[in-house]
Amino acid sequence: MNNNFQNPLQVLQAKSKEAWSGCIEIEEPQDASVSWHVYLLEGKIQYINSSIGQQVRLDYLWQRYNLGSRCPQLDKQEASEYVQLCQALANKQLSDLDIKKHLFRFTREGLINVLSIEQAEINLIPARRIKKSIIGFTLEQLVAKSEDQIKAWKQIKCYLASSFCRLYLEQKNALKFYQIWKYKYAEQELEAIAQTHKLSSFVSLFVAKNCLYQIATKVNVDTCFLAKYLEQSIAEGLINLFPFQELTPEKLKQKSQAQENNLASHKTQSNQIQFSEPKYNSAALIVCVDDSKTVQKQLRMTLEAGGYRVLGILDPTLALKKLSQHQPAVIFLDINMPNLNGYDLCSLLRKSQKFKAIPIVMLTGRDGMIDRVRAKIVGATDYLTKPCDPNKLITLTKALEKSAASVS
């Protein structure tokens, strides 16, 4: 299905080949508050940082690479993060070689995050540059020996937005979470955490709604390692997921306008990649009818991070009544639901003039040809297998929303 999103790796390869200079801004598809900034000079990558949460990421990296207990505190009123980091490394009286080695490590961690994104909104900003860089790295240098980490993060992003994602454990779920981790704490791989943190203090980190970077820093483990162990708790809905920073509708609108302005200002450049349209549309309502609270939470987080409003309906027998009060842009229907399955509900919706042209996507845990054929017979627009890949979910939703708007 055609869409306007870009693949970060392909864009970086193209700009490296062109010996392009400037900043490539790559947005996290599942967290509208976060984007990654890749700085290039004549095709070489100078540095990669995030748009927000710079301090929590720097705290994590400083600890992971054993740079001491005193991580520099970034001052937004002073020079850029890159300049401040270089100065902090120099203050440790490191050799030039060691400083470049750590810059390489910091940049590579950022690139792993970037390349774990399949499709994203991408902006090219030629005027934004690092004026005095110590060193630049080729894309090939940074990717070398990182394939396994990139692959691991791609799998993690099926259930966790990014390392900036905030994880929240409600008090009512704390006991069950404690019981699950009581057994995990006995595993040899988690021995280091168990020796430094009591299980109760570990659990309290999630009650405080810390992001993954913060939790990994406090227990001194790799974010990827920790994320893999959290999969079960997230899948079971014990942990609620939140964007790193809540964006108000006003801020979303401002961000969309900024993207539109940036697109307009660069349209005349012949070597410009095609920008996608802003994905933030606070007016668009997406409806999800699914009796699973876990699925509802996952879809809600992904879609809300993409700028959509989400209406979740757990009881399919109430769907028609609730839907009659709204005009959704896209409807997601679970196939296997009690009392009224997705096929029957889809058929009923298609009989209504109001929902005849609304895109309907069937959700199922199976991926069989019979299900796909039956979905088409009852009038479904598309079909998505659970657990939904967040990138595919956002891409499909945007494409269907745009298609429906052009028809109307």
Return the higher-pLDDT residue of 348 and 111: 111
Percent of the chain exceeding pLDDT 90 equals 49
Positive or negative CA dihedral for 149, 28, 218, 53? Answer: positive
Q: Which residues on adjacent β-strands are paired with residue 32?
A: none
Beta strands, E only, 110-203: 122-125, 166-169
Rounded to 5°, the CA angle 67-73-78 comes to 125
pLDDT at 275: 27
Counting beta carbons within 10 angstroms of the beta carbon of residue 131, is it exposed (0 to 12), middle (13 to 18) or buried (19 or more)?
exposed
Could you tell me if 328 and 404 are in contact, meaning their C-beta atoms sit under 8 angstroms apart? no
Single-letter residue type at 296 = Q
Highest mean pLDDT, choosing among 213-217, 289-293, 353-357? 213-217
Tens-digit pLDDT profile for residues 196-255: 899 999 999 999 999 999 999 999 999 999 999 998 888 788 898 888 886 545 554 554
3-state secondary structure of 131: coil
Distance CA 401, CA 67 (A): 48
pLDDT in tens, 67-95: 987 898 998 777 789 999 999 999 998 99
Q: Residues 374-398: what's their mean pLDDT? A: 88
Burial class (CB in 10 A: 0-12, 13-18, 19+), 23: buried
Label residue 271 by pLDDT band (50, 70, 90): very low
Q: How far apart are the first and last CA of the chain?
A: 20
Q: Over pLDDT 70: what percentage of the chain?
A: 88
Domain boundaries 285-407, corresponding CATH code: 3.40.50.2300
pLDDT at 218: 94
Q: Which pLDDT score, from 0 to 100, does residue 407 have?
A: 61
Closest-CA residue to 333 (of 367, 292, 370, 301): 292
Any idea which residue has 């970086």 for tokens?
12
Mean pLDDT of the chain: 85
Domain map of the chain by residue range?
A: 8-154, 166-242, 285-407
CB under 8 A, 24+ apart: contacts of 77-81? 80/130, 81/49, 81/54
Q: Which two tokens stand for residue 361?
A: 């996507």
How many angstroms separate the Cα of 273 from the Cα of each of 14, 45, 358? 9, 18, 32
Q: What is the per-residue pLDDT for 151?
A: 92
Tell me the helices (H) and strands (E) count for the chain, helix number first.
Answer: 17, 11
Contact 329, 284 (CB under 8 A): yes
Tell if the pTM clears 0.85, that is, is over it. no
State the average pLDDT over residues 4-16.
89
- Across the beta sheet with 330-334, the strand order is 309-313, 285-289, 330-334, 360-364, 382-385
The secondary structure of residue 205, as a DSSP letter, is: H
Q: Is 219 exposed, middle or buried (0-12, 13-18, 19+ CB in 10 A)?
A: middle
Taking only the tens place, the pLDDT of each residue in 122-168 is 999 999 999 888 999 999 999 998 999 999 999 888 888 899 999 99
Mean pLDDT over 9-18 rounds to 96
Of 152-166, 170-184, 187-201, 271-285, least confident by mean pLDDT is 271-285
Instruction: Tell me the two tokens of residue 40.
Output: 């290039």
Report residue 386's pLDDT band, with 50, 70 and 90 as the boundaries. confident
